[in-house]
Amino acid sequence: MLNVLLCRAFCLQLERWSCILRSSEDNLKNLQPLLGGAYSKNQLSWTLQIKPSVFSEYRIMCFKSYSMTFACLNRMKSYRLPWTRLYSTSRTTVDSSEVKTFLALAHRWWDEQGVYAPLHSMNDLRVPFIRDNLLKTVADHQPGKPLSGMKILDVGCGGGLLTEPLGRLGASVIGIDPVDENIKTAQHHKSFDPVLDKRIEYRACSLEKIVEETAETFDAVVASEVVEHVLDLEMFIQCCCQVLKPGGSLFITTINKTQLSYALGIVFSEQIAGIVPKGTHTWEKFVSPEKLESILESNGLSVQTVAGMLYNPFSGYWRWSENTSLNYAAHALKSSMQKHPAPAEFALKEETEELRIETSTNSGVHEALKK
């Protein structure tokens, strides 16, 4: 319906401008008997003492007006729901080769000694990191269930290794993952615990698929060991920000992009020691804390903490470190004042201003035509 209305409005505007163009040419034609001789734009322009370029400038003006009308209409349409345009297109953060890798390991999530052992033991650091930072944002909490009343989105939840402890702390958690088999494993595991079964909901989908329906829904979004697997990190962070309530928290754990992370994270862990299956990581997708911070800040999130994490492959345990050159955790807060700008208004204002400037630079043309 909207498309039909927009098309009609555009056609009407198009017709209006072509009428103006036609009538000005007709006016010139009408002057022909007075001026004498055959009608030709160049002859007319010389006879009327107008440079021939005036005609082409006039056409350019008309063309710009068409484009402006079209651009304005287009923007008005797209800014009705800003995230609909951004995320309901074919753009995705999901890399199909990553899906294949995680699909092959989907049955191994809950094997504490298996390929996901480092993620099991990472809970010793990340669960208290998330809990304590969330508790800073509330005045009071229930002992035993400190996160009760909070809504958390666990993006890229895999088999639910982090989702479950967050649910046990009392939060209502939605875990999403683009790999269907991961979600089946997670569902199956939580079904053993009736309390978790109620508190946790799992969905097999990408974040961009639910961004519209869950806009400003969550007190916290967690993306643990996920951003190094996504396509289009900027879009992924934009979506995380979009689903957070104003004042909400984003938690990310990931791997830095350093020579050390290449040597230890890929060569040693994957190719020599076999701690992680070969091909799990792509160094190019790793992100430095500085780059991540700049993406977070440009999306209206203020970074509160960045802390290094070190894994000891011999003991199988993690510890906090000042050194962020391998793994690190980040906590950022969405501004509590954030509001969507009124882009359609801005766009129209901007383009009216553009037209005003162009009109004033082309005022010579108007003057000439008037004469």
| Positions in the binding site for ligand SAM (CB under 6 A) | 93-94, 98, 102, 119, 155-158, 161-162, 177-179, 182, 206-207, 224-226, 229-230
When the beta carbons of 219 and 228 are compared against ligand SAM, the nearer one is 228
CA distance 327 to 288: 10
Q: Is 201 within 8 Å of 175 (Cβ atoms)?
A: yes
CB atoms within 10 A of CB 220: 24
Q: Between 182 and 256, whose beta carbon lies closer to ligand SAM?
A: 182
Closest to ligand SAM by CB, 146 vs 160, is 160
| Closest to ligand SAM by CB, 157 or 173 | 157
CB of 80 to ligand SAM, least distance (A): 26
Q: Give me the least distance between CB of 229 and ligand SAM, in Å please.
A: 4
Is 229 annotated as ligand-binding? Answer: yes
For residue 298, the minimal CB distance to ligand SAM (Å) is 20
Cα distances (angstroms) measured from residue 321 to each of 1, 208, 311: 57, 33, 10
- Whether 126 has a binding-site annotation, put simply, is yes
At closest approach, how far in Å is the CB of 245 from ligand SAM? 20
Helix (H), strand (E) at residue 121: helix 117-135
Residues 6+ apart with CB under 8 A from 96: none
- Determine whether the annotation assigns residue 225 to a binding site: yes
What are residue 137's phi and psi, to 5 degrees?
-90, -5
Q: Six-digit token pair at 318?
A: 């993690």
Which residues are CB-neighbours of 236 under 8 A, at least 6 positions away? 93, 207, 223, 227, 230
- Amino acid in position 101: T
Binding residue per annotation — 216?
A: no
Least CB distance from residue 115 to ligand SAM, whole Å?
Answer: 10
Nearest alpha carbon to residue 292 among 326, 260, 253, 246: 253
- In this structure, the strands spanning 200-204 and 218-224 are unpaired
Q: Which is nearer to ligand SAM, 61 or 239 (CB)?
A: 239
Annotated binding site for S-adenosyl-L-methionine: 126, 156, 177, 224
Annotated binding site for Mg(2+): 225, 228-229
Annotated binding site: 126, 156, 177, 224-225, 228-229
